[in-house]
């Protein structure tokens, strides 16, 4: 008898709770399309990964090359007493083996007064 009563009460509780209006739960919507950000899918994941990897490698190489040239400029300035007039002077006086090639669409910009080099867009 107790078991039947408990079952009826439990069933009534489920019915009451199940029929309640559900508020506060977010309704799933289609994801917004961000301009310039490619959509992620399993089909494009390898391409997106390779593109991001290539971009990261290019950025890393740019940073390494810039740091190496700036170190050579500082060494030149310490030993010669002034900064080089242009970057080719670093190569002729053997502070660098050769000038690194900047990534496509960029160029090396040298400020002789400050003794700093940077990579800028062409």
- 32-46, 57-71, 87-101: which range is least confident on average? 32-46
* Domain spans in the chain, listed from the N-terminal domain onward: 57-122
Distance CA 98, CA 88 (A): 8
Q: How far is CA 102 from CA 69, 111, 122, in A?
A: 12, 16, 11
**117 exposed, middle or buried (CB, 10 Å; 0-12, 13-18, 19+)?**
buried
Distance CA 70, CA 118 (A): 9
- Per-residue pLDDT for 96 more than 90? yes
Q: 59-82: per-residue pLDDT in tens?
A: 898 899 999 999 999 999 999 999
- Per-residue pLDDT for 12 more than 80? no
């Amino acid at each position: 008898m107790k078991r039947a009563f408990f079952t009826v009460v439990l069933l009534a509780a489920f019915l009451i709770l199940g029929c309640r209006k559900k508020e506060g739960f977010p309704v799933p919507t289609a994801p917004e399309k961000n301009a310039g950000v490619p959509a992620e899918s399993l089909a494009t994941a390898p391409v997106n990964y390779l593109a991001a990897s290539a971009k990261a490698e290019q950025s890393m190489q740019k940073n390494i090359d810039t740091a190496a040239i700036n170190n050579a400029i500082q060494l030149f300035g310490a030993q010669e007493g002034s900064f080089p007039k242009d970057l080719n002077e670093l190569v002729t006086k053997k502070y660098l083996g050769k000038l690194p090639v900047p990534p496509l669409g960029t160029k090396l910009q040298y400020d002789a007064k400050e003794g700093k080099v940077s990579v800028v867009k062409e």
